[in-house]
A and B are shown apart, each in its own frame.
Chain A
Amino acid sequence: MTTSPNSFRTGPDERGHFGIFGGRYVAETLMPLILELEKAYNAAKADPAFQSELDYLLEHYAGRPSPLYFAKRLTEKLGGAKIYLKRDELNHTGSHKINNVLGQVLMAKRMGKTRVIAETGAGQHGVATATACALFDIPCVVFMGSVDVERQSPNVFRMKMLGAEVRPVTAGSSTLKDAMNEALRDWVATCENTFYCIGTVAGPHPYPAMVRDFQCVIGNETRQQMMKAEGRLPDTLVACIGGGSNAMGLFHPFLDDPGVRIVGVEAAGHGIESGEHAASLTGGRPGVLHGNRTYLLQDKEGQITEAHSISAGLDYPGIGPEHSWLKENGRVEYVSATDTEALDAFGVLCKLEGIIPALESSHALAHVIKLAPTLPMDNLLVMNLSGRGDKDVPQVAARMGMKIES
């Protein structure tokens, strides 16, 4: 692309497109429903009562604003950029997912829906959805790939304790993409009373825009907090990307600040060249899946290939369409980190800062570890610490050959 738009923040257009990406590629049965959702969401956005109810919940229930924490020991160890961590792992339920879920469950209530469904990979979105549904007394069904049920068992128990039904999905690769297929299949049959609470900035319009808007609280807070701490905007932003909601939430409020360098980190699994990874922007090409056109991991014909990542939350062969657009226009840099690099980063944060990060966020940290030493000491770098790693402890312990006594 040779020309840049006047603003990177005006998308999508009225058809839900970000350039060629996005759109509404769904079965006809669902079309009237997503048009209804778009209308209801536009009305909610213009309704001060909706925003104030959401703000109240974010503050008093989820615990926002999350701190912007200067990671002194990490900064000293890496010897470059001044590193701040946006502590979204301190939110209620342990990740950024609650920001979006509170918004969507309020939408479900507003639209008179009596049942909520969700897909989940790592279980963070499932736990957040189960939590909000408990709070609002709405029956909740969470679809989760059976491989993920296995490797994220603490979150499965949490969802069940919160009263949600967890349905393991054994179709296909039994991970996040298959959970999303199954949620869509359920929704086609139940759309009259059911709200589909999508966990990331993907799916048919208006989901990518709506989820982004709910997550933008991360970037908006960061802006204010950095102004307060340093008197100026940050120089560098780093976040991990599966579907890309935590990253979009941090990035979007800064897209029109040309001095802010923005970096998204995909999961490179065993390495991009191994073919076993989940880096759709780095290793994929545009295609149509799950209601939108975006970068996808696929074979020559267009069959979707299986993603691989140690992190269940990044183990998805697609990515939100707005990220695809931001890649093509060059506003955001997209890089990747391998399973091993993420595991190493996981250990670094535990020992240096006393914070156990989620394996998802550890991918962002892995890139910070590479990037920070190359930057000057007055470079203000913000990494989104999007989730806490309690759910990953059994898996990491197993990787390290440790046994957890029960």
Chain B
Amino acid sequence: MSRIAKRFAQLKADKRAGLVTYVTAGDPDADVSYQILKGLPGAGADLIELGMPFTDPMADGPSIQLAGQRALKAGMTVDKTFDMVKRFRKDTGDNDTPILLMGYYNLVYQRGPEKFCKDAAAAGVDGFILVDLPPEEADELKPFAAAAGLDTVLLTAPTTDDKRLPAVLKYSSGFVYFVSVLGITGTSSATEEAVQNHVARLRRHTKLPIGVGFGIRTPDQAAAVARHADAAVVGTAIIDRVKAGLDDKGKAKPDLVPGVFAYIKALAAGVRGVRKD
């Protein structure tokens, strides 16, 4: 059983939904980014998405675009992202919290999908969410990911109709990520009713756990998602806390890391307040 499957099984046994937190690797710099990563499980993250900064993040709003630019400017690379994960597993002894790499396919393609998967697995990564690799092109990654024991979490969207869903699900493992709004990250939010309807529709097609993301900013919104889905994914709102902790020169102020953790604790409280029987 993969770490991701185990974590969702545990959440189910605990009768609650999970909180998935997204941070961009290397934002605002490697050190501060690692401090954040290390503390995420303690602050209440059940699963971690680690964004690989990319020059052209076509599906991201301004917050995550700028986070990627800060990270690249500070010298972040794919190797250093792997190193962060390695160090996390070693330093914290946390062998249970799943870490997924999120980003765009070109970084995987340039390293070579097979090598990328092997290196990621060796570093302690559990899976991928690649925004621009739909099922139509997923063949070039899936066999290597499977061989390395990595899950591939594909995205589903409001535009993914019942006819198309089976094709997306065929390539999905670990969980299914539902993008709850039409749009880029960090813009609008879905209503609870829309989330409920879409999750119900997805459940008719799959037994995989369902994570819902895009537009979740408050503990109440996270709780609303938790009432229906198996996990709530929060990204932009966390990145905004990182940005708020930077001084005029782009350096981390002392309250940056605690500020991020306090915010994640509040989100986790929202999610954990929903009992699922």
Which residues of A come within 8 Å of B, CB atoms?
15, 23-33, 171-172, 177-178, 181, 184-185, 188-192, 287-291, 293, 296, 298, 300-305
Cross-chain pair count, CB within 8 angstroms: 116
Q: How far is the CA of A190 from the CA of B188 in the complex (A)?
A: 12
Are B59 and A302 in contact (CB-based, < 8 A)?
A: no
A25 partner residues in chain B, CB cutoff 8 A: 105, 132-134, 137
A23 partner residues in chain B, CB cutoff 8 A: 136-137
Known: A28-B156, A32-B160, A304-B56. A287 touches B106 (CB 8 A): yes
Decide if B159 is an interface residue (CB 8 Å cutoff).
yes
Q: How far is the CA of A24 from the CA of B111 in the complex (A)?
A: 20
Known: A172-B55, A184-B58, A304-B56. A28 touches B134 (CB 8 A): yes
Can you offer 29 A-B residue contacts whose CB atoms are under 8 A? A25-B133, A26-B132, A26-B134, A27-B132, A27-B134, A27-B179, A28-B157, A28-B159, A29-B155, A29-B158, A32-B159, A32-B160, A32-B161, A32-B164, A171-B65, A172-B55, A185-B60, A188-B182, A189-B182, A191-B182, A288-B105, A288-B106, A288-B132, A291-B132, A296-B106, A298-B106, A302-B110, A303-B55, A304-B56
Are B106 and A27 in contact (CB-based, < 8 A)?
A: no
Known: A27-B132, A302-B106. A289 touches B179 (CB 8 A): no
A28, A29, A296, most chain B CB atoms within 10 A: A28
Q: Quick one: which of B60, B109, B136, B184 contacts A302, CB cutoff 8 A?
A: B109
Q: How far is the CA of A302 from the CA of B110 in the complex (A)?
A: 6
Residues 167-210 of B at the A interface (beta carbon under 8 Å): 168, 179, 182-184, 187-188
Known: A27-B157, A28-B154. A172 touches B134 (CB 8 A): no
A290 partner residues in chain B, CB cutoff 8 A: 56, 58
**Chain A: CB-nearest residue to B139:** A15
B61 partner residues in chain A, CB cutoff 8 A: 185
Which residues of B come within 8 Å of A, CB atoms?
54-62, 65, 72, 77-78, 104-107, 109-111, 131-134, 136-137, 154-161, 164, 168, 179, 182-184, 187-188
B164 partner residues in chain A, CB cutoff 8 A: 31-32
Are B183 and A188 in contact (CB-based, < 8 A)?
A: yes
Known: A27-B131, A181-B58. A188 touches B184 (CB 8 A): yes
The 9 A-B pairs of least Cβ separation, nearest first, read A302-B110, A189-B183, A29-B157, A28-B155, A302-B106, A25-B132, A288-B106, A304-B55, A32-B159
Task: Tell me, rounded to whole Å, the shortest Cβ–Cβ distance linking A74 to chain B.
Answer: 40
B188 partner residues in chain A, CB cutoff 8 A: 189
Task: Tell me, rounded to whole Å, the shortest Cβ–Cβ distance linking B190 to chain A.
Answer: 13
Q: How far is the CA of A291 from the CA of B56 in the complex (A)?
A: 12
Q: How far is the CA of A186 from the CA of B171 in the complex (A)?
A: 27
A15 partner residues in chain B, CB cutoff 8 A: 136
A293 partner residues in chain B, CB cutoff 8 A: 109
Task: Tell me, rounded to whole Å, the shortest Cβ–Cβ distance linking B144 to chain A.
Answer: 16
Q: How far is the CA of A177 from the CA of B106 in the complex (A)?
A: 15
**Chain B: CB-nearest residue to A190:** B182
Q: How far is the CA of A307 from the CA of B157 in the complex (A)?
A: 33
**Chain B: CB-nearest residue to A28:** B155
Q: How far is the CA of A345 from the CA of B78 in the complex (A)?
A: 43
Q: Quick one: which of A24, A33, A287, A303 contacts B136, CB cutoff 8 A?
A: A24
Residues of B contacting A: mostly: loop
B107, B159, B164, most chain A CB atoms within 10 A: B159
A296 partner residues in chain B, CB cutoff 8 A: 106
Known: A32-B159, A287-B110. A185 touches B58 (CB 8 A): yes
A188 partner residues in chain B, CB cutoff 8 A: 59, 182-184
Known: A25-B105, A32-B160. A185 touches B182 (CB 8 A): no
Task: Tell me, rounded to whole Å, the shortest Cβ–Cβ distance linking B251 to chain A.
Answer: 23
Known: A27-B59, A184-B58, A188-B182. A303 touches B72 (CB 8 A): yes
Are A31 and B134 in contact (CB-based, < 8 A)?
A: yes
A287 partner residues in chain B, CB cutoff 8 A: 106, 109-110
Task: Tell me, rounded to whole Å, the shortest Cβ–Cβ distance linking A13 to chain B.
Answer: 12
A172 partner residues in chain B, CB cutoff 8 A: 55-56
A24 partner residues in chain B, CB cutoff 8 A: 134, 136-137
B60, B105, B132, B161, most chain A CB atoms within 10 A: B132
Task: Tell me, rounded to whole Å, the shortest Cβ–Cβ distance linking A196 to chain B.
Answer: 12
Task: Tell me, rounded to whole Å, the shortest Cβ–Cβ distance linking A205 to chain B.
Answer: 9
**Chain B: CB-nearest residue to A24:** B136
Instruction: A181-B56, A298-B110 given; name 15 further pairs at CB < 8 Å.
Output: A24-B137, A27-B59, A27-B157, A28-B168, A29-B59, A29-B182, A178-B56, A185-B59, A191-B159, A287-B106, A288-B106, A289-B56, A301-B111, A302-B54, A304-B55
Task: Tell me, rounded to whole Å, the shortest Cβ–Cβ distance linking A207 to chain B.
Answer: 15
**Chain B: CB-nearest residue to A31:** B134
Task: Tell me, rounded to whole Å, the shortest Cβ–Cβ distance linking A324 to chain B.
Answer: 14
B105 partner residues in chain A, CB cutoff 8 A: 25, 288
Task: Tell me, rounded to whole Å, the shortest Cβ–Cβ distance linking A16 to chain B.
Answer: 8
A25, A189, A291, most chain B CB atoms within 10 A: A25
Q: How far is the CA of A305 from the CA of B72 in the complex (A)?
A: 12
**Chain B: CB-nearest residue to A178:** B56
Are A303 and B54 in contact (CB-based, < 8 A)?
A: yes
Task: Tell me, rounded to whole Å, the shortest Cβ–Cβ distance linking B54 to chain A.
Answer: 7
Are A28 and B58 in contact (CB-based, < 8 A)?
A: no
Q: How far is the CA of A302 from the CA of B56 in the complex (A)?
A: 11
Task: Tell me, rounded to whole Å, the shortest Cβ–Cβ distance linking B104 to chain A.
Answer: 8
